[in-house]
Amino acid sequence: MSTATTNAPQKRSFTAAASVYVNERTSIAGFVKELGRKAFPDHWSFLLGEVALFAFVVVLISGTFLTFFFQASMAEVHYNGSYVPLKGVEMSVAMASTLDISFDIRGGLFVRQMHHWAALLFVAAIGLHMLRIFFTGAFRKPRELNWVIGFVLFILAMAEGFTGYSLPDDLLSGNGLAIINGMIKGFPLVGTWMSFLLFGGEFPGTDIVGRLYTLHILLLPALVVAFVALHLVFVVVHKHTQYAGPGKTPGNAVGPPILPVYAAKAGGFFFIVFGVLALIASLFTINPIWNYGPYDPSPVSAGTQPDWYIGFADGALRLIPPGWEFVWLDRTWSFNILVPIIAIGVFIVLALMYPFIEAWVKGDKREHHIADRPRNAPTRTAIGAAGVTFYAGLWAAASSDLLATHFSLTMEGVIHALQAVVILGPFVAYFITKRVCIALQKKDREIVLHGFESGRIVKLPGGEFIEVHEPLDEYERWRLVSFETYEPLMLRPNSRGKITFGQRLRAGMSRWFFEDRIAPVTKGELEAGHGEHH
């Protein structure tokens, strides 16, 4: 590069010539200049979204291969492929073609396993990415809408997954659809109609695989791609958040520029993700449909579970005590199904709306570009921990039978323990997390004011022993003191001299959020502290 620019401008290198050629025809230079110099802060937790994105790319590539061979038909055939224990068994074309992909098409099983593993990774990476965003407060203004878009992507990813693992029409996927059928029928009045509409008649019918296939390869991927694009545009528009540090202000973004460093890293990282998935797919079986056999409404295998991301819904159904279904007004009211659906619905809506709720409670209309350390927002972190506990309890409940067998417990004991975890656990988690956060903040204060314990014990001439405290370096101190605290809102009458209910609610919520708080060390305190010790 340098030789091309300094020595002989007329004798350009190939890269330079190609760049000029492309730019003269597309005027892309302005775009590259704008985007290529965008800084991307470097932190491992900022790459979790990329893991999700790259896993999705792997899903798209492997899925395209699978569409070449999969036939989404529920017509009946007798299997005549290579897998002996299914030879001659009657099954749908969908199942038979999936078996052919697994046993008779070169590389088919590898790609099928890669597709499924990548899908699991896709949703898992989204989950971890969302937790990072939540606990660092990266959803605050101006990024609230991007949180919503991300949340929609999470739900779309779950829908993609569910429609996907229902396609092979094996016993496990049929059991999953049977549960969905039951849940839909649990809705009062309209349930049965909706079920017949979805399945084209009585469950299971002969339509559902074809319909799910259209959703799985056409509508849902298009939506995911569109929302991913929007998500990324917003990331560029907002700039990336960064953790507090010297020189990092709300107005800048410190890190390597996208071109060339960051693009190279990210591009390489894509191949790493691809490679890890290829390794997993080649070594570990996933969804061995040949064990499950074709769908038949009568058998259900022990250990029948959905894929992990639907587990929380399955767990919610398992945790409902018996007897919540009764007949009233000549209709069956299935509260054993409605209560989990409502509970999960409320949970999802609260999580989706959380950025707006927190902003309203704070009355904060400023932009925030510095990511919080979780301890510095104790109430938010505690709410997050409560939500994680709730979700994890439901999630664990989906494997209640396996917990029982693998840890030599009774199934009833596991269920009752998890019922307690789901209902009481969030409160316990909230309380513990909040106290831990405040304790950590106190520790930070202590360290900023007095330095950290060096472990060096010194005997003074007078015979007194002291431990030497070493002061922090400036960089570390900056990290520990740069955060914001909020104080509870004052309840004030509005312009007409009234205190509205909304105001009272907000003041109450604000008190709940910010009553217990640790303020960052101020400059004055720091100087006073230094004076004391030196």
Partner 1 sequence: MNPKRRRSMSENRKSPMNRQKRRTGRRHPLATVALLALGLVFTGGAYAAFSTGTAQAESSANSQQTIDEGKKLFQANCATCHGLEAQGTKEGPSLIGVGAAAVDFQVGTGRMPMQMQGPQAQQKPVQFTDEQVKQLAYYVASLGPGPDIPADHLTNGGGDAANGAELFRINCAMCHNVAGAGGALTEGKFAPPLTDVSGVHIYEAMVTGPQNMPVFNDMNISPEDKRDIITYLKYVQDNRSPGGFELGSIGPVAEGLFIWIFGLGSLVAITVWITAKSN
- Pick out residues in 276-295 that bind partner 1 (CB under 8 A): 276-277, 280, 282-288, 290-293
User: Are the C-beta atoms of residues 303 and 99 closer than 8 Å to each other?
Assistant: no
Q: Alpha carbon 249 to chain centroid distance? A: 27
Under the binding rule (CB under 8 A), the answer on residue 449 touching partner 1 is: no
Under the binding rule (CB under 8 A), the answer on residue 46 touching partner 1 is: yes
* Sole window of 2-10, 15-23, 81-89, 429-437 interacting with partner 1 (rule: CB under 8 A): 81-89
Residue from 128, 145, 194, 436 binding partner 1 (CB under 8 A): 128
* Sole window of 177-185, 300-308, 334-342, 376-384 interacting with partner 1 (rule: CB under 8 A): 300-308
Nearer to partner 1, 285 or 454 (CB): 285
Nearer to partner 1, 300 or 528 (CB): 300
User: Are the C-beta atoms of residues 72 and 164 closer than 8 Å to each other?
Assistant: no
* Sole window of 85-93, 223-231, 325-333, 344-352 interacting with partner 1 (rule: CB under 8 A): 85-93
Nearer to partner 1, 301 or 522 (CB): 301
Residue from 113, 241, 376, 381 binding partner 1 (CB under 8 A): 113
The helix (run of H) or strand (run of E) holding residue 326 is strand 325-328
What is the distance between the alpha carbons of residues 154 and 412, in angstroms, rounded to a whole number?
32
Smallest separation (angstroms) from partner 1 to the CB of 46: 8
CA dihedral 122, 123, 125, 129 (to 10 degrees): 130
Tokens of 228: 């991913």
Residues 346-375 that bind partner 1 (CB under 8 A): none
DSSP 158-206: HHHHHHHHTTT-BHHHHHHHHHHHHHHHTSTTTHHHHHHHHHTSSSSTT
Residue from 9, 30, 85, 524 binding partner 1 (CB under 8 A): 85
Residue from 167, 273, 429, 489 binding partner 1 (CB under 8 A): 273
What is the distance between the alpha carbons of residues 114 and 105, in angstroms, rounded to a whole number?
15
What is the distance between the alpha carbons of residues 188 and 341, in angstroms, rounded to a whole number?
13
What is the distance between the alpha carbons of residues 292 and 301, in angstroms, rounded to a whole number?
8
Site string for partner 1, 170-209 (x = CB under 8 A): -xx-------------------------------------
* Sole window of 40-48, 66-74, 181-189, 205-213 interacting with partner 1 (rule: CB under 8 A): 40-48
* Sole window of 8-16, 47-55, 465-473, 513-521 interacting with partner 1 (rule: CB under 8 A): 47-55
Report which of 83, 459, 159, 92 is spatially closest to residue 294, judged by C-alpha positions. Answer: 92
Residue 145 CA: distances (Å) to CA of 124, 354, 361 = 22, 11, 18
Residues 247-266 that bind partner 1 (CB under 8 A): 265
Smallest separation (angstroms) from partner 1 to the CB of 164: 13
Smallest separation (angstroms) from partner 1 to the CB of 358: 27
Residues 131-150 that bind partner 1 (CB under 8 A): none
What is the distance between the alpha carbons of residues 422 and 416, in angstroms, rounded to a whole number?
10
What is the distance between the alpha carbons of residues 148 and 251, in angstroms, rounded to a whole number?
24
Smallest separation (angstroms) from partner 1 to the CB of 483: 22
Smallest separation (angstroms) from partner 1 to the CB of 245: 12
Contacts 24+ apart (CB under 8 A), 273-278: 273/51, 273/54, 273/55, 273/58, 273/121, 274/54, 274/57, 274/58, 277/55, 277/58, 277/114, 277/117, 277/118, 277/121, 278/110, 278/114
Smallest separation (angstroms) from partner 1 to the CB of 278: 12
How many chain residues bind partner 1 (CB under 8 A)?
72
Residue position matching structure tokens 């004030």: 492
Tokens of 412: 């009833």
Under the binding rule (CB under 8 A), the answer on residue 340 touching partner 1 is: no
3-state DSSP call for residue 115? helix
Residues 390-419 that bind partner 1 (CB under 8 A): 398-402, 404-405, 408-413
Residue from 4, 35, 36, 45 binding partner 1 (CB under 8 A): 45
Residue 120 buriedness (CB in 10 A; 0-12 / 13-18 / 19+): buried
Smallest separation (angstroms) from partner 1 to the CB of 388: 13
Which backbone phi and psi does 248 adopt, to 5 degrees?
Answer: -100, 110
What is the distance between the alpha carbons of residues 428 and 394, in angstroms, rounded to a whole number?
16
Residues 309-328 that bind partner 1 (CB under 8 A): 309, 311
Smallest separation (angstroms) from partner 1 to the CB of 419: 16
Residues 467-526 that bind partner 1 (CB under 8 A): none
Under the binding rule (CB under 8 A), the answer on residue 121 touching partner 1 is: yes
Residue from 29, 35, 60, 103 binding partner 1 (CB under 8 A): 103
Neighbours of 447 (CB within 10 A): 18
Under the binding rule (CB under 8 A), the answer on residue 13 touching partner 1 is: no
Residue from 24, 296, 487, 516 binding partner 1 (CB under 8 A): 296
Residue from 75, 197, 225, 300 binding partner 1 (CB under 8 A): 300
Nearer to partner 1, 145 or 286 (CB): 286
Smallest separation (angstroms) from partner 1 to the CB of 3: 26
* DSSP 8-state symbol, 85: G
Sign of the dihedral defined by the CA atoms of residues 329, 334, 335, 341, in that order: negative
Report which of 262, 371, 272, 233 is spatially closest to residue 42, judged by C-alpha positions. Answer: 262
DSSP 492-504: ---TTS---HHHH
Nearer to partner 1, 305 or 433 (CB): 305
Task: Give 332's strand partners.
Answer: 327
Nearer to partner 1, 278 or 361 (CB): 278
Nearer to partner 1, 48 or 521 (CB): 48
Smallest separation (angstroms) from partner 1 to the CB of 88: 5
Residue 223 CA: distances (Å) to CA of 56, 159, 215, 228 = 13, 11, 10, 8
453: left (phi over 0), alpha (psi -120 to 50) or beta: beta
Under the binding rule (CB under 8 A), the answer on residue 301 touching partner 1 is: yes
